[in-house]
Structure formats: C-alpha cells, structure tokens
Amino acid sequence: MIRVLIADDHTFIRHGLRQVLEAEPDISVVAEAQNGSEVLETMRETKVDVVVLDITMPGRNGLETLKELRQHHSRVAVIVLSMHPKDQYAVRVVVAGAAGYLSKESAPEELVGAIRRAYRGERYISPEVAELLADYVEHGASHILHRRLSDREFEVFRHLASGQSVSEIADELSLSVKTVSTYKARIVEKTGLLSISDITRYCLEHGIT
C-alpha cells in the first residue's frame, strides 16, 4: 500500500484529491496538511511514502517545504502540484528534488500514475517539462530574467507584480519588511526591472501570475 500525504491550503482540493486517490486499491491517504509546517510536523509522526505538495501555501511555501523534505526525509518522494504554468516552477522543483510536477488541471488524470512511479523511485516528467529541463541544461538560467532569481526572490517577484506592497508581502509570506525590501533590491539588481510597472509588464508578457 502506498501511503500518501496531501498538502494544500484549500480544503476542497484536499478532499477532491483524497477521493481520487482512495478509489485506487493500492493507495491510502494517511494524512492531510494545509501548510508546510503541518507537513513537516506530520512527517515526524506518520509513515509516508509520497507527499503530494501544493507549490503555493501560506508561510513556508511548497519549494521551501520540498527542500526540507529532501534534507530530512530523503526516502519520501514528492509530487508537486501547481496552478501556475510549467515554465514558472517546473525546473525549480525538479532541480530541488521533486519526483514530478503536475498542473492542478491535469492532476486527476495524471496524479495516480505519477504517485506509482514516484513510489518505485522513478520520476514523472511530462514532455513539456522535459523540454524545459533540456533548455535549462543547455542555456542555464541567465538568458531568462526570472530564472535568475532564487526561489524566494521569485515568490516576492510574483507578489510585487500583482500590486502588493512590501508590507503586504511580508505579512503573506511571514517575513519582515526589511527582508522583503532586501529581496526587492536583489530582484532589481538581477533583472534590471527598475519599477513595479516594469515588473508587472514583464510578468504579463511571460504569463507569470
């Protein structure tokens, strides 16, 4: 039996995924979590084979949680779910050690197969993600501005593009205003996008939401 933990901050998504997975005879959902901290707490108490992890959760986000899991629970496979386009996060999560990356729209059709592959120690890589990885290997991150950013800088970048202030971003990401301001300065330095309107325009042009 494959023991699965589902992590998503939306209750209806967790319950929907649970229904899909528990219809399979070889999969059991042994726990749910609504944020990264709950994932890590649950892992200390519950035996889990595969974590199905939302990329955007309040506080410790999916990428940070993934890195913690790879460091402290290296035998547990992680499948990352996201509502964002693959070119925003797929390379980041695979490089960070995820066994697979799925969009939430495709999850019901693909998730069961991805979990079984991850349980066997394999990766689930779609053709689109494979192409992105090949581009990353060939060119690195420098030729695409937003790939120059660290994972946390990219989170701040997205929030800036949506029109949030530094203090609003600090509250949402559980960071200090000073820390967010530092990230903002690094974003300007790495991308050359000097104003919020420049960042917003860039994100609209590249489908970053």
How confident is the model over 81-108, as pLDDT tens digits? 887 665 667 778 888 899 998 887 776 7
Indicate the pLDDT class of residue 38, thresholds 50, 70 and 90: very high
What lies within 8 Å, CB to CB, of 202 at 6+ separation is: 145, 146, 161, 191, 193, 208
Q: Six-digit token pair at 203?
A: 């994100």
pLDDT attached to residue 26: 95
Q: What is the DSSP letter of 34?
A: S
The answer to whether residue 169 scores a pLDDT higher than 60 is yes
82 and 158 assigned to the same domain: no
92 and 178 assigned to the same domain: no
Compare 88 and 184 and report the one with higher pLDDT. 184
CATH number of the structural domain spanning residue 180: 1.10.10.10
Order the strands of the 27-33 sheet from edge to edge: 27-33, 2-7, 50-54, 77-82, 100-103
Mean pLDDT of the 167-194 span: 87
- The string of pLDDT tens digits covering residues 109-166 is 789 999 999 999 999 887 777 776 766 665 555 557 787 888 888 889 988 988 889 9
157 and 113 assigned to the same domain: no
Instruction: Look up the domain containing 64 and give its range.
Output: 2-138
169 and 118 assigned to the same domain: no
Report field, pTM of the whole predicted structure over 0.75? no
Last residue of a domain, one of 138, 166, 197: 138
